Amino acid sequence: MSRVYLDWNATTPLRAEAREAMLAAMELVGNPSSVHAEGRAAKSAMERAREDIAAALGAEGADVIFTSGATEAAALVLQDRGLACSPVEHPAVLAWCDPFLPADAAGCVTVPDPGRSVLQLANSETGVIQDLPKGLAVSDLTQAFGKIPLAFNWLGIEAGFVSAHKLGGPRGIGALVVRRGTEVAARIRGGGQEQGRRAGTENLIGIMGFAAVAKAAQNDLDQGIGEKVSQLRDSLMAALESQTEMVTFPGREARRLPNTLSILTPGWRGETQVMQMDLAGFAVSAGSACSSGKVRPSSVLTAMGIAPELAGDAIRVSIGPATEPRDVMRFADAWLAAHGRWRQRNDWRATAGRV
């Protein structure tokens, strides 16, 4: 039986729209910085792509600065600023900020000084969507872009960043979006590309793939894909909790991304579940993929008040536009079967310990 990919928050399959646009970009031989006809053609294609991405972000009139991904964009806008953030943020943000902003049990963060703070729009592990305060300095829009409607110009933030591979685009291309006139000091210096904010010849192939999926994802949202995906997530949640009283779903009390489900089973280690599901033919994760290989409690869940010894007992299921109802039900059956075996082993050990 074919494998089922349920780790869309880590990265997504490349969409056909991106592949087609990237193949077309490969035919453009010019450097966008060159003044000859080939260079001008490449520059024109890049600027059209920039406009398409800005439109999909609701950021018309803002500056879209291309980077190698969200991690670089975060460093570009956050380094040396000493902004405050919460432990629920992605490691790419935590690397540059002071994580003392509190989160409640639902994962919602309080921001007393927006102008000196960073707050993600949506969490990669729980899917919790934050209410961004007006005047917020920076927001990580990476997980939200393409999954829920958003408009940068209406969010009231100074800057945000996104990555193409989270919505069906290629890896290695992202963008920092800032209000026009916002000062951004270059970290990579050289040729003066991207208005002097990020040097280096632009990744035109990646940029055109990014623009194509930004438009495609926006069209999906217009067609109601969010409702379809949320129904699949809710059906999975119902299937699991109808069969076991042990499972909980961190963040379920809050507004969440339609595709994301955090599943916590006390005593059943997340990495063990991931391996068992992998052997059964399902790709899921035990947290942020950027922290893979590090067996430690989730800082997101501990920030929500979950004890460290339990925070390592969660997995994340994240679905996408191509996920089918049968995929979700197959996973539910496999997970419940593995859960039953785990409980039997625990019951046997408990019985043996009393003999």
List pLDDT tens digits, range 238-289: 999 999 999 999 999 999 999 999 999 999 999 999 999 999 999 999 965 5
List pLDDT tens digits, range 46-78: 999 999 999 999 999 889 999 999 999 999 999
Q: For the residues 280-307, what does the mean pLDDT come to?
A: 82
**What distance in Å separates the CA atoms of residue 136 and residue 99, rounded to the nearest whole number?**
16
* pTM confidence score: 0.93
pLDDT reported for residue 214: 98
Say if CB 262 and CB 127 are below 8 A apart. yes
Burial class (CB in 10 A: 0-12, 13-18, 19+), 183: exposed
CA angle 152, 153, 159 (to 5 degrees): 55
pLDDT reported for residue 187: 85
* CATH fold group of domain 16-222: Aspartate Aminotransferase; domain 2 (3.40.640)
Burial pattern 287-302, b for ≥16 Cβ within 10 A else e, equals bbeebeeeeebbbbbb
Question: For the domain 4-8+224-354, what is the CATH code?
Answer: 3.90.1150.10
Is the pLDDT confidence value at 353 over 60? no
pLDDT reported for residue 195: 83
Check if 290 is active-site: yes
From the list 85, 97, 108, 290, the catalytic residue is 290
pLDDT reported for residue 181: 83
Q: pLDDT band at residue 294, thresholds of 50, 70 and 90?
A: low
Say if CB 288 and CB 260 are below 8 A apart. no
Question: Across the chain, what does the average pLDDT equal?
Answer: 93
Handedness of CA 173, 118, 259, 155 (dihedral sign): negative
Q: What backbone phi and psi angles, to 5 degrees, belong to 93?
A: -90, -45
The domains of the chain are located at 4-8+224-354, 16-222
Which residues are bridge partners to 160 per DSSP? 139, 177
